[in-house]
Amino acid sequence: MNTTSTETLKHPLEEYLRVDRLPHIWCPGCGLGMILGALLRSIEKNKLDIDKTALISGIGCTGRAAGYVKMDSFHVTHGRPLPFATGLKVAKPDLKIIVLNGDGDLAAIGGNHFIHAARRNVDMTVVCVNNFIYGMTGGQLGPTTPTKAQTTTSRQGNAEHPFNLPFLAGACGAVYVARWTASHVRQMERAFSEALNKKGFSFVEIISPCPTYYGRMNEQATGLDQMRYYSYHSTVKHGANLADIDITADGQIIVGKFIDIEKPYFPLPQGETDGK
């Protein structure tokens, strides 16, 4: 005789999620769910102490992630996650600090904080979810929007040269720099794990679909269309010259691990003088 189990199935990451706040607000096809899942699996695999881990985010689609995780999390003002995270690290140097930013949050209003946190080599892991656009406020042009790409404020195509975020992070002093897309789930997980275990400023850029605005306006109307684009147009080049990995609307996306070095970091653990 067939029987139906009444046992409630649990999400495999329920230990790390505030399930009472689900379902999330992200649009169908958005890459943020996959990215947050990969980050939480990396936290789990590395057996990080949740009581000594903090996640900081700013404003925008990515910023909502802080409200979904079951750990100390801070949803701060636009562009200010990095100075907040720096202050938290100075006050509580034993904490593992993770910053989850969107591209506009990190590289526009937060750009000055980004370059100085990298320059100081502050001991934190920074993940930038780059969807090339301001997705929550109307699909406007952002600091990483590829040249020629259409947005609600660049209807004839973007004429400005976008930031190359891995190049910027590396030039400012980051000790770990990688870029993957949302379609590279295993590589993304591995990069998160490596970044979390790095002492100093580690930076991972994830190119993520936004079908609602960027995709719809650039002939990639669904999340699946954007994921296909990433699969067909991504080229893995570990250790690539960062000056050569700009992204254009119709060009290749260079992905891989670009920098993995050791050097003194800030703040130094109590009793140490060289950051090692």
Q: Note whether residue 78 is domain-resident.
A: yes
Q: What is the pLDDT of residue 136?
A: 86
- Residue 117 phi/psi, 5-degree rounding, is -65, -40
DSSP letter for each residue of 28-62: TT-SHHHHHHHHHHHHHHTT--GGGEEEEE-SSTG
H or E, element range at 82 = helix 81-91
Q: Note whether residue 44 is domain-resident.
A: yes
Which tokens hold the place of 85?
A: 């995270």
Q: CA 262, CA 202: separation in Å to the nearest integer? A: 11
Q: What is the pLDDT of residue 45?
A: 95
Q: Note whether residue 272 is domain-resident.
A: no
Q: Note whether residue 113 is domain-resident.
A: yes
CA angle 39, 44, 50 (to 5 degrees): 95
Q: Note whether residue 5 is domain-resident.
A: no
Q: Note whether residue 151 is domain-resident.
A: yes
Domain region containing 64: 17-260
Which tokens hold the place of 249?
A: 């609307």
CB 19 within 8 A of CB 39: no
Q: Note whether residue 273 is domain-resident.
A: no
Q: What is the pLDDT of residue 10?
A: 78
Q: What is the pLDDT of residue 274?
A: 55
pLDDT per residue as tens, the chain (276 positions): 455 555 677 778 888 999 888 889 899 999 999 999 999 999 999 999 999 999 999 999 999 999 999 999 999 998 999 999 999 999 999 999 999 999 999 999 999 999 999 999 999 999 999 999 998 888 899 999 999 999 999 999 999 999 999 999 999 999 999 999 999 999 999 999 999 999 999 999 999 999 999 999 999 999 999 999 999 999 999 999 999 999 987 789 999 999 999 999 998 665 555 545
CB 70 within 8 A of CB 22: no
Which tokens hold the place of 28?
A: 């169908």
Q: Note whether residue 3 is domain-resident.
A: no
Number of domains in the chain: 1
Q: What is the pLDDT of residue 13?
A: 86
What is the CATH number for 110?
Answer: 3.40.50.970
Q: What is the pLDDT of residue 137?
A: 87
